[in-house]
């Protein structure tokens, strides 16, 4: 059973607009959430994380929102740039202890100039 779900396989956004990528999780023990970005032929790159004690974390153009009651998180990219075109993975884990990350299947973002 998938514990981390990214229900949109792909998303297209115009340059300069907001990109919103969504992620749902089922395991209520998860308290640490991360977003990774992946370009073709490269490894995933860490973007931003959030722990369950917060509901928002911001880093430049990237903001992650966490809704614990809905078991939902989202990544907002504002403004979107062509270089943001990549596959984005959501991941979840426990903040402490020896608990590996569980990844979603990814969402391919295309930012159109």
Partner 1 sequence: DAGITQSPRHKVTETGTPVTLRCHQTENHRYMYWYRQDPGHGLRLIHYSYGVKDTDKGEVSDGYSVSRSKTEDFLLTLESATSSQTSVYFCAISEAKGTSNQPQHFGDGTRLSIL
Which residues are near partner 1 by CB under 8 A? Answer: 6, 32, 34, 36, 41-46, 49, 89, 91, 93-106
Are 47 and 94 within 8 A, CB to CB? no
CB nearer to partner 1: give 35 or 111: 35
Question: Closest Cα partner for 29 from 10, 50, 3, 55?
Answer: 3
Task: Provide, rounded to whole angstroms, the least separation between the CB of residue 113 and partner 1.
Answer: 27
Task: Provide, rounded to whole angstroms, the least separation between the CB of residue 23 and partner 1.
Answer: 11
CB nearer to partner 1: give 19 or 104: 104
Q: Dihedral angle at the C-alpha atoms of 72, 67, 39, 8, nearest 10 degrees?
A: 30
DSSP letters, 17-39, are: S-EEEEEEE--TT--EEEEEEE-
Task: Provide, rounded to whole angstroms, the least separation between the CB of residue 39 and partner 1.
Answer: 10
Task: Provide, rounded to whole angstroms, the least separation between the CB of residue 28 and partner 1.
Answer: 18
Are 91 and 101 within 8 A, CB to CB? yes
CB nearer to partner 1: give 41 or 113: 41
CB nearer to partner 1: give 32 or 65: 32
């Amino acid at each position: 059973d998938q514990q981390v779900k990214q229900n949109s396989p792909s998303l297209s956004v115009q340059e300069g607009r907001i990109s919103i990528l969504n992620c749902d999780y089922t395991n209520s023990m998860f308290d640490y959430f991360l977003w990774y970005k992946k370009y073709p032929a490269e490894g995933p790159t860490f973007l931003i994380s959030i722990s369950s004690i917060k509901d928002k974390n911001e880093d430049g153009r990237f903001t992650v929102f966490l809704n614990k009651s809905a078991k939902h998180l989202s990544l907002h990219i504002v403004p979107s740039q062509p270089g943001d075109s990549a596959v984005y993975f959501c991941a979840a884990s426990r903040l402490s202890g020896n608990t590996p990350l569980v990844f979603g299947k990814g969402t391919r973002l295309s930012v159109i100039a």
